[in-house]
Amino acid sequence: MSYRSRACASVGPADIAVSAPINVAAVYVHAPFCSRRCLYCDFAVHVSPGGDLAAWGTALTGELKGIENEGLFALDATLETLYVGGGTPSLLGPAAMKTLGELIGPDRLRGSDLEWTAEANPESLTPELAASWRAAGTNRLSIGVQTFEEGALRWMGRLHGSEGAAQAVGNAKEAGFDNLSVDLIFGLPARLGRSWSDDLERVLRLDVPHVSLYGLTIEPATPLGRALEDGRETPVDEEQYRDEFLMAAEVLTHAGYEHYEVSNFARPGFASRHNAVYWDGRPYLGLGNGAHSFADPCRRWNVRDWPSYQAIASAGSVAEEERETVDAAERALERTWLGLRTRSGLAFDSLSDRQRQIVEGWSQQGWTVPGPERVRLNAEGWLILDQLAVELDGAA
């Protein structure tokens, strides 16, 4: 994966002089459709009874044409990772991944080590869909389970029941998927009576090689945020949040999963390669409404609203909303933060004397994994990742 760095002023695409495109081998594609918006969701989703595969394919085709004409980014001849997120990509139906593969270009998706992930919700991950997506070349599924507890599922606005996750995983395995990830959310209101320990036991029984954890956050513009503002909900309990995160880390690592990133656990060989592109600061291209693209020092993002994005992209134009140049100070902080959030950590010999003193203090507090060559946070340290990253960056 190679690219050329350039300035990235906040101007329109037509105003930028292009010397050579930035080659990218990692692509994110956004599928915005959701049957309903979950209580806590602030993603760029479009609520509709089902997905609109024809409109989605037309918009992506137009956006790719616009990107080609613009000349800032170019897809590599062979992609390394392709990630289809949402929204709910499985609402697009069994033909969705075949359609996507055709518009991306089949030759780009024939690499023997390609990781092609697609997200799916249990209620729409049918046997037919799983088989069709696997036949199209998708080889990794990320399934939005969140919890197995019926009352909590209803509170969140999820459409599957307590047995939906097991059925969806069974459908995926029957179709030939052995690279499966499931999402769980922790920190839910205690009044729901959700048992986090029971959910962890049940996820282990699914026998999947990857688990992603997400702590509940309350964003102001979401239904949950409005409920908090009106006094109909209570803030996330910090002690419960901490205890549940640490419990998950203990249970999953004891079961043979490596806690390889603050939110992610994998059996050997099943860590997410696409997410590693983000954490390593490598370039990537985002397609679809709200999608982000990056090649140091440029970061840009698309229009969030689906109808607006659809109109722009379908006309063959880049649906960019805004861009920014990440300056040297911002990039240094990002490198520190991204390095600390993974098990790889930071090289000890890259730190200043003052930073090494700070890291020694972290070790005394019990926030790091012992080791002389790299600074790695443990689960306790990851709970205060943002604080530690700012502290270390300020001592550079």
Residue 220 CB neighbour total at 10 angstroms: 10
- Dist. CA 393–CA 70, nearest whole Å: 36
Helices 53-70 and 306-314 pack at an angle, to 10 degrees, of: 60
Q: Are 311 and 318 in contact (CB under 8 A)?
A: no
Q: Are 290 and 43 in contact (CB under 8 A)?
A: yes
pLDDT by 10s per residue, the chain, length 396: 222 333 455 434 444 444 689 999 999 999 999 999 999 999 999 999 899 999 999 999 999 999 999 999 999 999 999 999 999 999 999 999 999 999 999 999 999 999 999 999 999 999 999 999 999 999 999 999 999 999 999 999 999 998 999 999 999 999 999 999 999 999 999 999 999 999 999 999 999 999 999 999 999 989 999 999 999 998 989 999 999 999 999 999 999 999 999 999 999 999 999 999 999 999 999 999 999 999 989 999 999 999 999 999 999 999 999 999 999 999 999 999 999 999 999 999 999 999 999 999 999 999 999 998 999 999 999 999 999 999 999 999
Q: Where along the chain do the CATH 3.20.20.70 domains lie?
A: 18-280
Residue 310 half-sphere exposure, CB side, CA atoms within 13 Å? Answer: 16
- Dist. CA 307–CA 314, nearest whole Å: 10
187: left (phi over 0), alpha (psi -120 to 50) or beta: left
Token pair 């020092």: residue: 297
pLDDT at 19: 65
User: How does the average pLDDT of the chain come out, rounded?
Assistant: 94
- Dist. CA 371–CA 375, nearest whole Å: 7
Q: Which of 253, 274, 212, 286 is nearest to 369 (CA)?
A: 253
Distances (CA, A) of 318 to 5, 30, 259, 265, 296: 20, 15, 38, 36, 19
Q: Are 165 and 145 in contact (CB under 8 A)?
A: yes
Distances (CA, A) of 27 to 18, 135, 274, 307, 313: 21, 20, 8, 22, 17
The fold adopted by the segment(s) 18-280 is TIM Barrel (3.20.20)
**Per-residue pLDDT tens for 329-365?**
999 999 999 999 999 999 999 999 999 999 999 999 9
